Amino acid sequence: MNFDEYLSYFEDILNNTENHEAYSNDADYLNYTKLNWSRMNRWLKKFEPSDDMKSCIQNIKDPQHWILITEPWCGDAAHSVAQIYQIVKDNSFIDLDFQLRDTEPYLIDEYLTNGGKSIPKLIIRNDVGHDKVIWGPRPAVLQDLFTQMKAEGKPTDEIKEFIQRWYNEDKGEAIQKDLIELLNQ
């Protein structure tokens, strides 16, 4: 789906929860989704790619297919999806496609993180379908912090709270740094 279709799907979950079994049967999923709708919309209003990021994206002159595997309930995706969209939306050479992790064709099974289906996951393919870049599920520096906190046995709620604060303080700088480095390889 494209970004507008993803937003419509997201909104439909909030407005017609009874039609979405995973959300109507799990209050936590629905609550995360409500929070994430707010977070994502805040980034859509406030996030502006850096000049370096804009220059990097403007230099893409060959067709690319960007696939973003995500789900509305995902806290990391609430930040990254909006930022990635804002980064690429004005380059006509980039086709940004949203795929749901928990819906066929289950592309996530080919892009596991340490054996898990962590999202969001960004796959950048050239015009003949070869993977050029794989990014995710979160900026590298945050992934390292997350791994460290898990190894230390920190409680899940403490980790989630830390991650949300980190995204707000980072303001999208780390994801841009990661993408610039990956795209320039």
DSSP string of 23-92, one letter each residue: HHS-HHHHHHHHHHHHHHHHHHHH----HHHHHHHHT--S-EEEEEEE-TT-HHHHHHHHHHHHHHTT-T
Per-residue pLDDT band at 127 (split at 50, 70, 90):
confident
Per the confidence metrics, is the pTM higher than 0.75?
A: yes
- Decide which of 128 and 1 is more confident: 1
> According to the model, what pLDDT value does residue 143 have?
97
| Residue 129 in this model has a pLDDT that exceeds 90 | no
Give me the residue spans of the domains in the chain.
3-183
Q: Which CATH class is domain 3-183?
A: alpha beta
> Which residue carries 């789906």 as its tokens?
1
**Residue 105 above 90 pLDDT?**
no
